[in-house]
Chains A and B, each alone.
Chain A
């Protein structure tokens, strides 16, 4: 099993997500049903889920989901984890035997907190940044180990197989989340690697993506200049890092970050009134290398909410719907209707126009 793919993998896919803005937890069975109806957009080559709110009892700990391709990789990684973290709980990931799924890596999860000493020695005053760097170091430097989930009170479950099979394997139905994000994959060549499936995730961020980034070359070089190392060679990795950079590190509001990824055309900007014109002109001047070109639809979870976004000329499908506290996003309307027969509103968001849905302000999770 290789943990760094030889070449970059392009893919088409299905995406599906929903959130209950009141914070009510919804069983993973529902998101599995959503994805099952889009089976012909997926293949047996990769699927995954991200659930928010799934570890309420351990919500103050970073939940590290790690895959290993050998016991040696596990030993070496755990040595590193012990030197940096106080480990609250350490367990084998609960899974179920599924006939069609083979060659699963060793899967473990750890609930951790940075140790005071390691944090002080790192000279990083921010725990998130400390965790992010550690994750990057493991993924880039520790052969045979891959951290695929590292947020708090959330978790990513993914692997090589159809969405329903992966769900069964990871026992997704046993988790309850206020926000679910899911993906079924249709790659153009065989990755055969579990870490390459979606969602891609760092800290509380998770991202599922349908599309191929035609601006990959410059997006990647831009991220490298900003201190990221793209080890997976997947387009989605680039998307995830861009969101991390724009929102977490640069503090852009999610809406403006979307406008960096899929900027308005100059024609539109020229027609805007001040100070909007200045806002969008400067975003394009400063963040041109972070704009993502080529067909895409993405859904991105960020802890308290999610947003969906299309490329600016909408080259991939993405439908949104609303009913009560619920907001849905999926590649196909039929998938939404499979779990909500009577949505109050169904719409087809314009290219580059984000759909942002988050917990109501007074909801604590």
Chain B
């Protein structure tokens, strides 16, 4: 039999002088790379299975392990980058769709990294966030264009303002389902959301019983598979989100492999354990914007108009028109997921080649909604590659009300972005349903790390606001004048509504 396999991508270097053969690493590795060779009396590694998740390296008490990129050489060809050759080998061997996880891994240039923020000097002073109040509180929901008051003693509000959700900082956790994530991670997210005054989004996997006490800080999702959707679920939540699309896989449905559907996941999703949870690409009752409107209002009816309805869509070419349609369909919040948005499992080809950057999507949607006079009717949430407080500030300046973070939250819990979530072997216990692995996440500790992350970003955001000479987030929101582009082409700048660096105000 001929051999076609590729050489391993990573190689483990075990320092034999340091290694005391305690076998800890053999337990730590979720991918079965390391084992103890009884004959040789030492640890051995099956390099080809390693995904560079660093778990062994971090947990080796002797610091004896290093994970290195295997430096094997390929003949150079600009036409055939190595990853494409490797895809062909793998596909020739399996004849299937290649799966992956996390977000777009291609080298498209980041627009965030080509935008810079402003600061004030002399003519308008900067404001010191250590000495002056700096406000990040953000409300999401639909707003009337104006308010009416009547005067009887004091002022009384006459206009009815539709339901809002209140965020103490303009960041929420992206939709990530139980099933894709382990239960302790969901608990960490829920606890952190409550402490930080923000929200967890259940994704399409339902809401585990243990999390109902956190429902005030939870947005529940209704996706095409309708997993875990029932009366109590809808009523408990702070807001309801209809998932139409997702940045990592616009136009296709969710996929949770049966190996990850254990008893807890099965009960929460209301499906038999061990079955693949496949949600269809479109909702089977939504084939037009009118259909979406019916679902939006069916959900509003079911909770007596007491909470905002969000619609999540993936950033694709025609996003501005789609978003306007969604706003007209009655959505109170539109959550847009850029093409770098992550996933627990997706075909590589879709993840890497479909959709547009979130920077562009937010800019065109915010602008179009304004042109159509709809911007007040919906709040905009941007997601898909918000990697730092700088990205957050830039997305808000482009027009987002708030941002959703997924990958950043998982990285806070230890994730190394190894892109193997769909295997269920996550050594960090984040995306695994194997008890010996997910037991590694302590929800208290996890929540603390997440709260730290949000706090750090919020403090940084306050510094950015202060430097911009404003003391509340609504004065940065949509204020594209505070951005300048470096090295972006004229058309992209125009689409973003941003001037090139050097242009005056």
Stretch at the interface among A31-39, A108-116, A279-287, A353-361: A279-287
| Complex contact B123–A10 (CB within 8 A) | yes
| Complex contact A265–B133 (CB within 8 A) | yes
| Complex contact B375–A265 (CB within 8 A) | no
| Contacting residues of chain B (94-149) with chain A, CB-CB under 8 angstroms | 120, 123-125, 127, 132-133, 135, 137, 139, 141, 143-149
Stretch at the interface among A71-79, A83-91, A132-140, A288-296: A288-296
Q: How far is the CB of A269 from chain B (nearest CB, A)?
A: 10
From B141, B147, B373, contact of A283 by CB (8 A): B147
Query: Which single residue of chain A is at the shortest CB-CB distance from B399?
Result: A221
A residues near B123, Cβ cutoff 8 Å: 10-12, 188, 212
In the bound complex, how far is the Cα of B480 from the Cα of A86, in angstroms? 43
Q: Residue among B135, B164, B481, B482 with the most chain A CB within 10 A?
A: B481
Q: Residue among A253, A284, A286 with the most chain B CB within 10 A?
A: A286
In the bound complex, how far is the Cα of B477 from the Cα of A308, in angstroms? 27
| Complex contact B156–A212 (CB within 8 A) | no
Q: How far is the CB of A178 from chain B (nearest CB, A)?
A: 26
| Complex contact A293–B472 (CB within 8 A) | yes
* Interface residue? A250 (CB, 8 A): yes
| Complex contact B370–A221 (CB within 8 A) | yes
A residues near B222, Cβ cutoff 8 Å: none
From B124, B139, B474, B480, contact of A289 by CB (8 A): B474
| Complex contact B471–A313 (CB within 8 A) | yes
Q: How far is the CB of B141 from chain A (nearest CB, A)?
A: 8
Whether A289 contacts B478 in the complex (CB less than 8 A), given A7-B504, A10-B124, A276-B154, comes out as yes
* Interface residue? B475 (CB, 8 A): yes
* Interface residue? B334 (CB, 8 A): no
Query: Which single residue of chain A is at the shortest CB-CB distance from B156?
Result: A275
A residues near B479, Cβ cutoff 8 Å: 215-218, 221
Query: Which single residue of chain B is at the shortest CB-CB distance from A224?
Result: B370
| Complex contact A286–B474 (CB within 8 A) | no
Q: Residue among A214, A253, A287 with the most chain B CB within 10 A?
A: A214
Whether A285 contacts B475 in the complex (CB less than 8 A), given A279-B155, A293-B470, comes out as no
Q: Residue among A222, A224, A253, A263 with the most chain B CB within 10 A?
A: A222
Q: How far is the CB of A133 from chain B (nearest CB, A)?
A: 17
From A218, A249, A282, contact of B476 by CB (8 A): A218
A residues near B145, Cβ cutoff 8 Å: 226, 286
From B474, B480, B482, B504, contact of A288 by CB (8 A): B474
Q: What string of 1s and 0s marks CB contacts (under 8 Å) between B478-495 and chain A?
A: 111110000000000000
Number of interface residues of B (CB under 8 A): 48
In the bound complex, how far is the Cα of B469 from the Cα of A217, in angstroms? 13
| Complex contact B135–A252 (CB within 8 A) | no
* Interface residue? B79 (CB, 8 A): no
Q: How far is the CB of B445 from chain A (nearest CB, A)?
A: 30
* Interface residue? A266 (CB, 8 A): yes
Whether A266 contacts B135 in the complex (CB less than 8 A), given A8-B504, A295-B124, A295-B125, comes out as yes
* Interface residue? B82 (CB, 8 A): no
* Interface residue? B200 (CB, 8 A): no
| Contacting residues of chain B (283-342) with chain A, CB-CB under 8 angstroms | none
Q: How far is the CB of B198 from chain A (nearest CB, A)?
A: 15
In the bound complex, how far is the Cα of B127 from the Cα of A257, in angstroms? 24
| Contacting residues of chain B (146-172) with chain A, CB-CB under 8 angstroms | 146-149, 151, 154-157, 159, 161, 164
* Interface residue? A92 (CB, 8 A): no
Query: Which single residue of chain A is at the shortest CB-CB distance from B134?
Result: A265
| Complex contact B157–A250 (CB within 8 A) | no
Q: How far is the CB of A107 from chain B (nearest CB, A)?
A: 29
Whether A288 contacts B477 in the complex (CB less than 8 A), given A214-B468, A293-B469, comes out as yes
| Complex contact A212–B124 (CB within 8 A) | yes
* Interface residue? B505 (CB, 8 A): yes
* Interface residue? B66 (CB, 8 A): no
In the bound complex, how far is the Cα of B120 from the Cα of A293, in angstroms? 12
| Complex contact B155–A313 (CB within 8 A) | no
| Complex contact A275–B147 (CB within 8 A) | no
* Interface residue? A101 (CB, 8 A): no
B residues near A188, Cβ cutoff 8 Å: 123
Q: How far is the CB of A246 from chain B (nearest CB, A)?
A: 9
From B148, B157, B475, contact of A278 by CB (8 A): B157
Whether A294 contacts B124 in the complex (CB less than 8 A), given A215-B470, A218-B479, A266-B135, comes out as yes
B residues near A295, Cβ cutoff 8 Å: 124-125
In the bound complex, how far is the Cα of B471 from the Cα of A72, in angstroms? 47
Q: How far is the CB of B469 from chain A (nearest CB, A)?
A: 4
| Complex contact B125–A217 (CB within 8 A) | no
| Contacting residues of chain B (355-404) with chain A, CB-CB under 8 angstroms | 370-371, 373, 375-376, 397
In the bound complex, how far is the Cα of B163 from the Cα of A196, in angstroms? 43
In the bound complex, how far is the Cα of B183 from the Cα of A176, in angstroms? 77
In the bound complex, how far is the Cα of B321 from the Cα of A187, in angstroms? 42
From B120, B143, B148, B471, contact of A285 by CB (8 A): B143
| Complex contact B370–A225 (CB within 8 A) | yes
| Complex contact A286–B144 (CB within 8 A) | yes
| Contacting residues of chain B (241-267) with chain A, CB-CB under 8 angstroms | none
A residues near B477, Cβ cutoff 8 Å: 218, 288-289
| Complex contact A253–B149 (CB within 8 A) | yes
Query: Which single residue of chain B is at the shortest CB-CB distance from A6?
Result: B504
Q: How far is the CB of A260 from chain B (nearest CB, A)?
A: 9
Q: How far is the CB of A189 from chain B (nearest CB, A)?
A: 9
A residues near B470, Cβ cutoff 8 Å: 214-215, 293-294
* Interface residue? A251 (CB, 8 A): yes
In the bound complex, how far is the Cα of B127 from the Cα of A213, in angstroms? 13
Whether A217 contacts B482 in the complex (CB less than 8 A), given A282-B157, A282-B161, A313-B127, comes out as yes
Q: How far is the CB of B143 from chain A (nearest CB, A)?
A: 5
| Complex contact B375–A275 (CB within 8 A) | no
User: 12 other contacts beyond A218-B477, A286-B376, with CB at 8 A cut-off?
Assistant: A188-B123, A213-B124, A215-B475, A216-B481, A217-B482, A250-B146, A253-B151, A278-B157, A279-B154, A284-B474, A286-B146, A313-B133
Residues in chain A within 8 A of chain B (CB atoms):
6-8, 10-12, 188, 211-218, 221-222, 224-226, 249-253, 256, 263, 265-267, 275-276, 278-279, 282-289, 291, 293-295, 312-313, 315
Closest 9 CB pairs of A and B: A217-B479, A217-B481, A288-B474, A215-B475, A293-B475, A214-B469, A212-B124, A293-B470, A218-B479
Cross-chain pairs A/B with CB under 8 angstroms, 23 sampled: A8-B505, A213-B124, A215-B476, A216-B505, A217-B480, A222-B478, A225-B370, A226-B145, A250-B146, A250-B147, A251-B148, A253-B155, A263-B472, A265-B133, A278-B157, A279-B149, A279-B154, A284-B474, A286-B145, A288-B472, A288-B477, A295-B125, A312-B471
